[in-house]
């Protein structure tokens, strides 16, 4: 099978480097289009007893700007054009799978680095993508 559209789902951490390199190699070998996606997940605000954690009203904007810059840098390093770089908000599973359907992706590449339970084998987000995808999924074990 020759892949035509590949999606690299990344958390933009140093642990994702190996998966990114693998995605680029496969895309080059198959002469496929390579897309990259990062999903910003919103953390719930913790409330406890009489105290709550104060919310920085600019926190979401700061997170999005930082993620956008990191995604652009990773895209540049992997020679992925800006129109193939996707920064989304929501849950990783739903956003990655929805984008994969929209772009007619035939291979999703994800890195793994779970540390407990079944996550040791695959990683919770990678596992969710694997079980929900209608295309091939390559889980690349991060160097630890």
Dump pLDDT digits (tens) for 27-64.
999 999 999 999 998 755 555 555 555 556 677 788 89
Q: Which residue's entry shows tokens 């291979």?
A: 107
Specify the pLDDT at position 137: 94
Specify the pLDDT at position 48: 52
Give the mean pLDDT of 112-118.
53
CA triplet 14, 6, 36: central angle to 5 degrees? 40
Helices (H), the chain: 17-30, 59-77, 92-103, 124-132
Cβ pair 107, 138 in contact under 8 A: yes
Number of H helices, E strands in the chain: 4, 7
| Distances from the Cα of 10 to the Cα of 17, 33, 49, angstroms | 9, 16, 36
Q: pTM for the whole thing?
A: 0.84
């Amino acid at each position: 099978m020759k892949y035509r559209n590949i999606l690299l789902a990344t958390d933009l951490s140093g642990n994702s480097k190996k998966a990114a390199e693998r995605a680029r190699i496969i895309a080059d070998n198959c002469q496929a289009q390579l897309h990259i996606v990062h999903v910003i997940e919103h953390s719930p605000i913790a409330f406890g007893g009489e105290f709550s954690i104060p919310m920085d009203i600019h926190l979401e904007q700061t997170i999005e700007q930082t993620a956008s810059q990191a995604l652009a840098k990773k895209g540049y390093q992997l020679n992925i054009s800006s129109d193939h770089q996707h920064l989304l908000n929501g849950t990783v599973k739903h956003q990655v799978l929805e984008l994969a359907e929209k772009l007619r992706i035939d291979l999703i590449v994800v890195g793994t680095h779970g540390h407990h339970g079944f996550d040791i084998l695959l990683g919770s987000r990678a596992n969710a993508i694997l079980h929900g995808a209608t295309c091939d999924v390559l889980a690349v074990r991060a160097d630890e």
